[in-house]
């Protein structure tokens, strides 16, 4: 019954996403693409942080690795799929590497190691002109062709992005529901207990980092043809912090949390355009209030509201 309802809910959302840009301008399609792109990256971060409990402030650098790999490959006239694959595999490997510090240090220390990594990535991207185009960045990346269909139009590219995002979400769903996913959660809840249950904490930590980073790479593979321009500034620490904000605001460790969190981050400025200069301040205040009142994020908040009548009844009885 529950699975049945969930399937209906997902179908409704997908249908809404398919009709969303119809009859709207290119801008709406573009905005939706940026949202889906960020949602993919945030889903990856949610796996690392929300499910496995290992913080990473380097997700933007993985978007960067994916985007640069895709750009370099497609600018050399190889197909997008190859660029995407190179980017994702590269991110998986680098993520594996970045997972090693996570074996030694936790929490705040890990946050700073990953933050430092992101800053170093920025410097390399800016200084190594021969590879990355330096401060000028790379531009003019072609949009992928699927067989005879070109996705160079904004609407076509949107449906392409939507397909990639849905596929990514599906794969993540399978991972989370698999024994791995349960093991990740055990890792987050109680590492000693996880170890005593015979789980290989070391391998799981590394995997959580690697898979989460690979999702960053996939997002980058979308960003390159979407914006058709990348420069080091698009992947700096500030972007990593804002991705972290998206994941936590949406709801840490909730499957739909990052999707919701990134929607808020991308669409809120648009919805709050009337407030002009104040929107970032309002956003910041809202985040502080949300965190102090409901650390579970928006999904946690929705859950709490949904549960309220039951609690009231309970309170009345006691």
Q: Considering only residues 66-105, where is the footprint of other proteins by CB under 8 A?
A: 101, 104-105
Q: Considering only residues 27-46, where is the footprint of other proteins by CB under 8 A?
A: 27-28, 30-31, 34
Query: Can you tell me the distance from the alpha carbon of 221 to that of 217, in angstroms, rounded to the nearest whole number?
Result: 6
Q: Closer to other proteins by CB, 174 or 305: give it.
A: 305
For residues 279 and 269, is the Cβ–Cβ distance under 8 A? Answer: yes
Residue 115 CB, nearest approach to other proteins (Å): 8
x/- mask, other proteins, residues 119-138, rule CB under 8 A, reads xx--x--xx------xxxx-
Q: Considering only residues 138-157, where is the footprint of other proteins by CB under 8 A?
A: 139, 154
Residue among 140, 216, 142, 164 nearest 32 (CA): 164
Using CB under 8 A as the binding criterion, the count of chain residues that bind other proteins stands at 84
Place of tokens 């605001």: 249
Contact between 11 and other proteins per CB under 8 A: no
| Residue-wise DSSP of 177-210 | HSHHHHHHHHHHH-HHHHHHTT--HHHHHHHHHH
Residue 2 CB, nearest approach to other proteins (Å): 7
Question: Per CB under 8 A, which region of 85-93, 160-168, 192-200, 301-309 contacts other proteins?
Answer: 301-309
Residue 121 CB, nearest approach to other proteins (Å): 10
Task: State how beta strands 145-146 and 138-139 pair.
Answer: unpaired
Query: Can you tell me the distance from the alpha carbon of 174 to that of 30, in angstroms, rounded to the nearest whole number?
Result: 29
Radius of gyration of the chain (CA): 20
Contacting residue, 26, 79, 200, 202, with other proteins by CB under 8 A: 26
Q: Considering only residues 197-216, where is the footprint of other proteins by CB under 8 A?
A: none
The b-or-e profile of 252-278 (16+ CB within 10 A means b, else e) is bbbbbbbbbbbbbbbeeeeeeeeeeee
Which distant-in-sequence residues (6+ apart) come within 8 Å of 136 by Cβ? 129, 231
Q: Considering only residues 47-66, where is the footprint of other proteins by CB under 8 A?
A: 49, 55
Residue 213 CB, nearest approach to other proteins (Å): 17
Helix (H, G, I), strand (E, B) or coil at 120: helix
Contact between 109 and other proteins per CB under 8 A: yes
Contact between 245 and other proteins per CB under 8 A: yes
Question: Per CB under 8 A, which region of 75-83, 160-168, 202-210, 272-280 contacts other proteins?
Answer: 272-280
Residue 198 CB, nearest approach to other proteins (Å): 28
Which DSSP helix (H) or strand (E) runs through 75? Answer: helix 59-75
For residues 130 and 146, is the Cβ–Cβ distance under 8 A? Answer: no
Which DSSP helix (H) or strand (E) runs through 91? Answer: helix 80-104
Question: Per CB under 8 A, which region of 69-77, 164-172, 211-219, 291-299 contacts other proteins?
Answer: 291-299
Contacting residue, 48, 71, 132, 234, with other proteins by CB under 8 A: 234
């Amino acid at each position: 019954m529950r699975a049945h309802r969930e399937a209906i809910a997902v179908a409704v959302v997908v249908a809404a996403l398919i009709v969303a840009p119809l009859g709207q301008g290119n801008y709406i399609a573009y905005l939706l693409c940026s949202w889906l792109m960020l949602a993919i990256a945030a889903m990856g971060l949610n796996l690392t942080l929300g499910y496995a409990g290992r913080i990473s402030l380097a997700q933007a650098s993985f978007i960067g690795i994916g985007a640069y790999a895709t750009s370099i490959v497609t600018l050399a006239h190889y197909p997008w799929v190859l660029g995407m694959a190179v980017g994702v595999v590269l991110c998986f490997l680098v993520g594996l590497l970045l997972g090693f510090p996570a074996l030694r240090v936790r929490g705040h220390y890990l946050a700073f190691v990953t933050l430092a990594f992101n800053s170093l990535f920025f410097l390399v991207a800016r200084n190594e002109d021969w590879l990355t185009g330096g401060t000028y960045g790379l531009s003019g990346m072609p949009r992928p062709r699927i067989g005879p269909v070109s996705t160079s139009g904004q609407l076509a590219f949107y449906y392409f992005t939507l397909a990639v995002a849905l596929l990514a979400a599906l794969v993540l769903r399978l991972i989370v529901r698999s024994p791995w996913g349960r093991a990740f959660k055990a890792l987050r809840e109680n590492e000693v207990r996880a170890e005593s249950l015979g789980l290989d904490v070391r391998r799981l930590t590394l995997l959580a980092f690697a898979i989460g980073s690979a999702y960053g790479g996939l997002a980058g593979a979308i960003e390159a043809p979407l914006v058709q321009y990348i420069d080091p500034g698009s992947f700096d620490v500030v972007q990593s912090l804002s991705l972290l904000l998206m994941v936590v605001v949406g709801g840490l460790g909730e499957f739909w949390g990052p999707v919701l969190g990134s929607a808020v981050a991308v669409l809120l400025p648009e919805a709050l355009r009337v407030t002009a200069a104040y929107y970032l301040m309002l956003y910041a205040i809202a985040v502080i209030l949300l965190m102090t009142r409901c650390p579970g994020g928006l999904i946690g908040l929705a859950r709490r509201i949904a549960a309220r009548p039951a609690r009231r009844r309970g309170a009345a009885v006691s």
